[in-house]
Amino acid sequence: MLGDVTEKQSNQVKVIRVIDGDTFEIEGGQKVRLIGVDAPESVHPKKPVECYGEISSKVLKQLLEEKTVILEKDVSDTDRYGRLLRYVFLDGVNINQYLVKEGFAYASSYPPDISQQDLLTVLQAEARVLNKGLWGECETNDLEELNELIKDTLF
């Protein structure tokens, strides 16, 4: 099953607010950035709203806001902005994988946090072939070029 989790419940946190399609805030004010995914921009202060950005943000909000989730770390604890880097599970479903599989976000790798990257890449290829989500709605550039742009702006 996609994204099964058998991890202890000690990493449970309540999501207070979704910021955009790949970032949210938990109780206590800490921000969490989803590992291995990048959603189109919807609130970046220096960039216009990108194609599918508002939809990606709304989907994550519907999925997570005011819900209790399980956070799972890969290698890094935080990014350069102090956000926790985590895989997120809701009712046993890996949300990172779900967003890519359904075309709400791109698969993006940022070593060393790449334990699920092969699967995310496969899920993205499937979503792209099926024209799911942003793949059916947005004009996209070459994936390698896109990933380089993403890396330059996020990390």
Does 83 qualify as catalytic in the annotation? Answer: yes
Domains and their CATH numbers in the chain: 9-154 (2.40.50.90)
Does 41 qualify as catalytic in the annotation? Answer: yes
The pLDDT value given to residue 151: 55
The total of other beta-carbon atoms located within 10 Å of residue 96's CB is 25
Residue 41 pLDDT > 90: no
Catalytic residue among 25, 33, 65, 66: 33
Catalytic residue among 7, 41, 86, 145: 41
Please state the rounded mean pLDDT for residues 24-32.
98
Q: 12-20 and 23-26 as β-strands: parallel, antiparallel, unpaired? A: antiparallel
Catalytic residue among 25, 27, 50, 83: 83
Task: Please give the model's pTM, rounded to 2 decimal places.
Answer: 0.82
